[in-house]
Structure 1
Amino acid sequence: MPHSNRLLELDALRGIACILVVFFHFNVNQPDAWHWLNLGVAGVDLFFIISGFVIFYSLERNHNALDFFVSRFSRLYPAYWVAVCITSALVLLNGGTVHLHDFLVNLTMLQGYFGVEDIDGSYWTLGIELFFYCLAILPFITNTVKWVEHFIWISLFLVYNWHYWGSLYAPGTHAKISNSAQFLNHAPLFFAGIFFYLIGFKKATPDRYFGVLCCFILSCYLHNFFGRSQWVITIQEHVWMLLAFFGTFFLLLSHQLGFLVNRVSLFLGNISYSLYLIHQRISTEIIRPWLQHHLLPHMPNLIYSLIMLACSIGVASAINFWIELPAMRFLRQNWKRLKTKFEVKQESVLPL
């Protein structure tokens, strides 16, 4: 697979993953919803695999840990802060409650580690992503990238043993820690993304293919261990979704996903982060009740879902266009200028 600044197929996959999650949230617990839409709960699994793939790609392109930190911060936080503020304001205007303490802690994106409720239910994955970023950058900081596959194998072994033996002999402690450090419940998906990256961009080896297989098996095993999917779909349904996601990445590596790339999928991929952040609570707690009680009572759930999707895409597009992209450009460009200025100053004080 050739290197490129942006893999269009991955952008399309982001858009698809986001739509899966969005329609799941719009239809969950609705009496006339189609059950198969519940399969969208597994869309976050696809996001996690994509993250494992993309973050390693990004790490190898950044020159140091600070470059990576600025890159991730500029990508995640400005749009997130705006989404938190918009959601909080609309909930308050609608007569709901958002405590100041919860609001401030949510701004850190680390609320899950402090036992604070997410202002929007979709935020639960963000703390997991941040944990993975911190974990992924360690080999680059410690100059041990060549050992990264060994670290993954050790991590997979530890994750399996933690869940197997912990649930048997220390169920209380196991549950408490697994609920706080939720990366433990989804780690194989991120590691699968890394293996896919190594196969596609480095070298396809039997060990790496076997690594993908182990990640798949362990992800299936973890269905019943504190993931969200276990409450919505059966393990059989989850396994089929995971098969589809892992199979999709094999198609990606063999250049067979070009048919997914079009204006719609790329547009959804571009706004997927903002759409993910803004769609759930506003739609299900404000827009749907307003539609049901005032504007369009007694309509099929599909109609409500399409209207909520249109509203969510509109707000997400505005956040993406006015906040996410400009803030990302501004922060990254100023960081480059600051680095250049610092390097020039360093050179000017070097002895002749």
Structure 2
Amino acid sequence: MINQTSRNYTLDILRAFAAFIVVVFHLNEPIPHIDNWYRNIVKLGWLGVPIFFVISGYCIMMSAFKTSNSKEFILKRFFRIFPPYWASLIIVLLAAVLQKIITGYNSVNFIPTNLQEILANISLLTKPFSKIETINWVYWSLTYEWFFYMVIGIVLLLPYRFWMLALSMFTLISIFIPISDSGFFFFFNHWPTFSLGLAVYAFHFLKGKERLSYFFALAVLSIYGLVTNFALKGQLEYAYVSIFTFVLIVVSPYISISQNIFTRLGDYSYAVYLLHVPIGIYLFGKLKTPFIQENIGWNILYDLLNYSLCCIISYFFFRYIELPSMKMGKRFSKSNLKTQITIS
């Protein structure tokens, strides 16, 4: 069995890579497409999303099996996601104000104008859960993540022996029951991607007959769901990237990687994901002149410098917002556990 307490640096590198390709994808999306090899490659950067979802399924199960109860799990995930998310909302609004002052207009995706829109953006109940737009293009995936966590939290209410069975049933439902792209059950659209991470967890950490049974069941169902679902959408590359990520994580404990600059970038991947649009596009997007856009070398240099700036700012964001938020989540969950023990 794999040691669940040891750090898997392959995951950090995958996170860093996924964040990088999403950043360069978005940096080139708002400008007219030019048919050259670089722009054609970065056009595929949206495929960083399935990498994140598969990793999330794997890591969230590790977190779930380490928690004492559903409430503790949800508290930890809440503090991991929401305080940094709220801080990034402020940064987006500041970027909009600065852009308005400097240029006379702002290119922010959407500015809430009423209480319902404000509350939806604060609570991540925007698209695809509702019809309300997000203030930042990338936030849609966070809504998926939060609903994935809520499903895990519900499963943790069951006796331990039923956890993997219940999750397998969710995977089965996501494949055979047609689900709308919006509404309460929207998250089933990407559940097979998340479920591939659950399959890897079963392979690495479960014991006895359950290990291979749940691994093969979850893997087969997830891959079937991915291929059939994204073939209909004409996005089979999404399924291929998900499966490749799944294979890499399966073999990752047997890959010898020590901590390095790329693994450290994995720590900042959430911050990079949250901040690259307001920093790289809303604030500095206009610096990407037609000359830079049309010249491959200058385009690559611009993207690398912009990405580097996002990483530097993300380091401080991680240190002063994410880390304190995670520590607060641990304190709240421990306080909740002590209260339960005292009452009982």
TM-score of the alignment, normalized to the shorter chain, above 0.5: yes
Q: Are positions 1:269 and 2:266 aligned together? A: yes
Amino acid at match of 2:177: W
- Residue in structure 1 matched with residue 143 of structure 2 by the alignment: 127
TM (norm. structure 2) is 0.83
- Residue in structure 2 matched with residue 197 of structure 1 by the alignment: 201
Q: How far apart are 1:125 and its partner, in Å?
A: 0.7
- Residue in structure 1 matched with residue 246 of structure 2 by the alignment: 246
**Aligned partner (choices 165, 187, 208) of residue 150 of structure 1:** 165
- Residue in structure 1 matched with residue 5 of structure 2 by the alignment: 4
Q: Residues of 1 paired with 2:288 and 2:141: CA distance?
A: 29
**Aligned partner (choices 315, 319, 332) of residue 321 of structure 1:** 319
1:87-109 CA deviation, whole Å, 9 max, x = no partner? Answer: 12211321226234344421112
Aligned to 1:45, the other structure's residue is in SS state: helix
Amino acid at match of 1:223: F
Segments of structure 2 that go 5 or more residues without pairing to the other structure are 101-105
Q: Is the 8 A contact 1:39 1:238 kept in 2?
A: no
Q: Is the 8 A contact 1:39 1:241 kept in 2?
A: no
What pairs up with 1:216-255 in 2 under 5 angstroms? Answer: 216-224=223-231, 230=234, 234-235=235-236, 237-252=237-252, 255=253
Segments of structure 1 that go 5 or more residues without pairing to the other structure are 164-173, 348-352
Q: How far apart are 1:146 and its partner, in Å?
A: 2.0
- Residue in structure 1 matched with residue 309 of structure 2 by the alignment: 311
Q: How far apart are 1:161 and its partner, in Å?
A: 2.5
Q: How far apart are 1:245 and its partner, in Å?
A: 1.2
Q: Specify whether residues 345 and 210 from structure 1 end up closer, same or farther in structure 2 by C-alpha distance, changes over 3 A only.
A: closer
- Residue in structure 2 matched with residue 13 of structure 1 by the alignment: 14
Q: Are positions 1:179 and 2:182 aligned together? A: yes
Q: Residues of 2 paired with 1:320 and 1:178: CA distance?
A: 32
Count of residues in Structure 1 that have an aligned counterpart in Structure 2: 322
TM (norm. structure 1) is 0.81
- Coordinate RMSD, CA, aligned: 2.7
**Aligned partner (choices 99, 111, 125) of residue 112 of structure 2:** 99
**Aligned partner (choices 116, 123, 142) of residue 108 of structure 1:** 123
Q: Residues of 1 paired with 2:250 and 2:330: CA distance?
A: 33
Q: Residues of 2 paired with 1:345 and 1:63: CA distance?
A: 15
- Residue in structure 2 matched with residue 48 of structure 1 by the alignment: 53
1:265-295 CA deviation, whole Å, 9 max, x = no partner? Answer: 22111111111111124322331213428x9
Aligned to 2:44, the other structure's residue is in SS state: helix
Q: How far apart are 1:129 and its partner, in Å?
A: 0.9
1:208-253 CA deviation, whole Å, 9 max, x = no partner? Answer: 2243133122112221567xxx5xxx52x3344234212212212x
- Residue in structure 1 matched with residue 299 of structure 2 by the alignment: 301
